[in-house]
């Protein structure tokens, strides 16, 4: 895991009431974090995702996951390091939307 992934995992997802898995293979991809029960994927993006080809690849991945009925939310590394509370709030909001 990257440093941002470790931070999110150990400070929040590891003991979450919704069971999240790390590095979950789905189709031809590996999702950073995935909760199968609610079909929620969390992706953490770093600088390597800034090129046009990587942006297009990310859009394709999200579209493919959508085809599996999986909701994907993405965060940048700097969001994890500098605004972890806002990240947690967004994840909780998504979980609540899916459950309701």
pLDDT, mean of each 10-residue run, the chain (100 residues): 94 95 92 96 77 74 89 94 96 91
Report how far residue 36's alpha carbon sits from residue 24's, in angstroms, rounded to the nearest whole number. 10
CA dist list (Å): 73 to 8, 21, 40, 59: 14, 15, 8, 12
pLDDT at residue 47, rounded to an integer:
67
pLDDT of residue 45: 87
Domain of 17, in residue numbers: 3-99
> Any idea what the CATH number is for the domain that residue 40 is in?
3.40.960.10
Q: What is the pLDDT of residue 62?
A: 84
The number of distinct structural domains making up the chain is 1
């Amino acid at each position: 895991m990257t440093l941002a992934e470790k931070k999110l995992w150990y400070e929040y997802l590891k003991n979450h009431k919704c069971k999240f898995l790390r590095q979950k293979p789905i189709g031809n991809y590996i999702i950073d974090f995935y909760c199968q029960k609610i079909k929620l994927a969390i992706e953490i993006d770093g600088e390597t995702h800034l090129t046009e080809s990587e942006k297009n690849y990310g859009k394709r991945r999200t579209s493919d996951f959508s085809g599996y009925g999986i909701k994907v939310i993405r965060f940048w590394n700097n969001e994890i390091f500098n605004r972890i509370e806002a990240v947690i709030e967004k994840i909780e909001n998504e979980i609540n939307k899916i459950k309701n």
